[in-house]
A and B are shown apart, each in its own frame.
Chain A
Amino acid sequence: MPSEFTVRVNGDSIVVPVGSTVAVAIAIAGRPCRTSVTGEPRGPLCGMGICFECRAVVDGIPHSRTCQILCEPNMEVSTDE
């Protein structure tokens, strides 16, 4: 079993270690998870699924909490919605 695989963040291929959360993939991509309604960049704060700051679109599902979702090969993540 390979120790890492590729997901896409905003179309860019990102290599992540097995066991990484989607929030990790977004961090490797160097992006904020989302932009607040007042235009501020937001990312994981609590890391345990309660603060909702790490939301992004994961495989088409908006408002997914990326700190609670493990990456899977070829996952599509979008942070600009």
Chain B
Amino acid sequence: MSKESYDVVIVGAGIVGAACADVFAQRGFRVVVVDRDVVGSGATAAGMGHIVVMDDSDAQFALTRYSQRLWQELRQQLPDDVEYDQSGTIWVAADEEEMVEVLRKRDYYQQRGLAVEVIDAHQLYDAEPNLREGLAGGLLVPQDAVLYPPCAARFLIGRAQQRGARLRLGASVTQISEACVRLNDGEEIRADIVVNAVGANAAALTPGIDIKKRKGHLVITDRYPGFLRHQLVELGYLKSAHSVSRDSVAFNVQPRRTGQILIGSSRQYGAEHKEVDQTMLANMVLRAQEYMPALGTMSAVRVWTGFRAATPDKLPLIGPCPGYKSVFLATGHEGLGITTSLGTARILVDQVTGGNPEIAVEPYLPTRTVKEHTHA
């Protein structure tokens, strides 16, 4: 039995739990982080690892922008293995219709003080010579970055540990109740505050919250240094990511420091098993080849899947868990958890301490999406 006492127990040592541990420990809380596996073993390891600003909604922009600033402040302290690389994102417009969206996106970002640049077809080929001909142009977002998420999570956890946080790995939490979590061997860990940060599995521990698993596939290639310079995302991605119910694929590639190329993306609801779906994989790779035909000549070294924690309104759940007094949520980050982990941790801890958050927390409060039956 655990004899130590804690102020906070964080369930889940993914990037979000790690970031929360870091900030709680920094503010003097006695923290323990519990994970059934190793640090960053879930969606943190499965995802691409981008630090991107997104404008699906004002709230999404606010959290991604705030978080990107926090990453930039942290950048100099990140160890080399985090591979933070400010490659920038280019939103690729296939045709003139999508160029209209490029201009809208530029205006949105510029009005909010984010430097972006519209590029024409010529500039697009100069920037990325391996894109196919016939594309219309794009929007360059220079401050966007990529990193290697598991090492980022390990860094954040490590920093929390230096400030006294405890880390319990290989300990599976089977139940969350007021001020207490129970492990599968019956041990209970007590703390004034419990944080559910287990991503796509969060609803298993705090029933009633509206988190669905949204499966994704990724491919990583062998090393082809210089082939790709920026993160590229098709503007059609918006249609794909926005589609709440249908399976979808979109062109999204990232250059890694090794010269490898990460190829995504796919989105599926209702797929509970982690097996690679050959049809989804084929559609995803074919979509990528439509934009970069030479990807078809490359060797892929690995294909895998992961589960995003999806909410109905595509915003995370950050704050008190409905129905509990001492339980807080930090989940539902869908495909943006690496970016928004740092902002999430700050505004969660601000809520706990009664501090003054730098961005409005209301859009992310879990009370907004509670399913009806929790009130029954």
Name A residues whose Cβ lies closer than 8 Å to a Cβ of B: 37, 61-63
Contact = CB atoms under 8 A, between A and B. Distances in A.
B299 interface: yes
B299 A63 contact: yes
10 contacts: A37-B223, A37-B258, A61-B297, A62-B222, A62-B224, A62-B298, A63-B222, A63-B223, A63-B298, A63-B299
Contacts of A37: 223, 258
Main secondary structure of the interface of A (DSSP, over half): strand
The 3 closest A-B pairs by CB, nearest first: A63-B222, A63-B299, A62-B224
Contacts of B222: 62-63
A63 B260 CA distance: 12
Contacts of A62: 222, 224, 298
A62 B223 CA distance: 9
Nearest to B224: A62
Contacts of B299: 63
Contacts, number: 10
A69 B170 CA distance: 46
Contacts of B223: 37, 63
- For chain B, what secondary structure do more than half of its interface residues adopt (helix, strand, loop), or is it mixed? loop
Interface centre among B222, B224, B298, B299 (most CB of A within 10 A): B299
Nearest to B221: A63
Interface in B264-315: 297-299
A67 to B, nearest CB: 15
Given A37-B258, A63-B222, A63-B223, 7 more contacts: A37-B223, A61-B297, A62-B222, A62-B224, A62-B298, A63-B298, A63-B299
A61 B222 CA distance: 12
Contacts of B298: 62-63
Nearest to A61: B297
Contacts of A61: 297
B243 to A, nearest CB: 35
Contacts of A63: 222-223, 298-299
A50 B222 CA distance: 14
Nearest to A55: B222
A62 B222 CA distance: 9
A61 B299 CA distance: 10
A10 to B, nearest CB: 18
A41 to B, nearest CB: 17
B228 to A, nearest CB: 14
Nearest to A81: B225
A60 to B, nearest CB: 9
A63 B222 CA distance: 8
Contacts of B258: 37
Nearest to B227: A62
Interface string B215-233: 0000000111000000000
B113 to A, nearest CB: 40
B27 to A, nearest CB: 40
B222 to A, nearest CB: 5
A63 B221 CA distance: 10
A62 B295 CA distance: 12
Contacts of B297: 61
A15 to B, nearest CB: 29
A61 B297 CA distance: 8
Nearest to B259: A37
A56 B297 CA distance: 14
Contacts of B224: 62
A63 B225 CA distance: 12
A18 B298 CA distance: 28
Nearest to B299: A63
A81 to B, nearest CB: 9
B158 to A, nearest CB: 25
A63 B297 CA distance: 10
A6 to B, nearest CB: 26
Interface in B200-227: 222-224
A63 B261 CA distance: 14
A10 B130 CA distance: 25
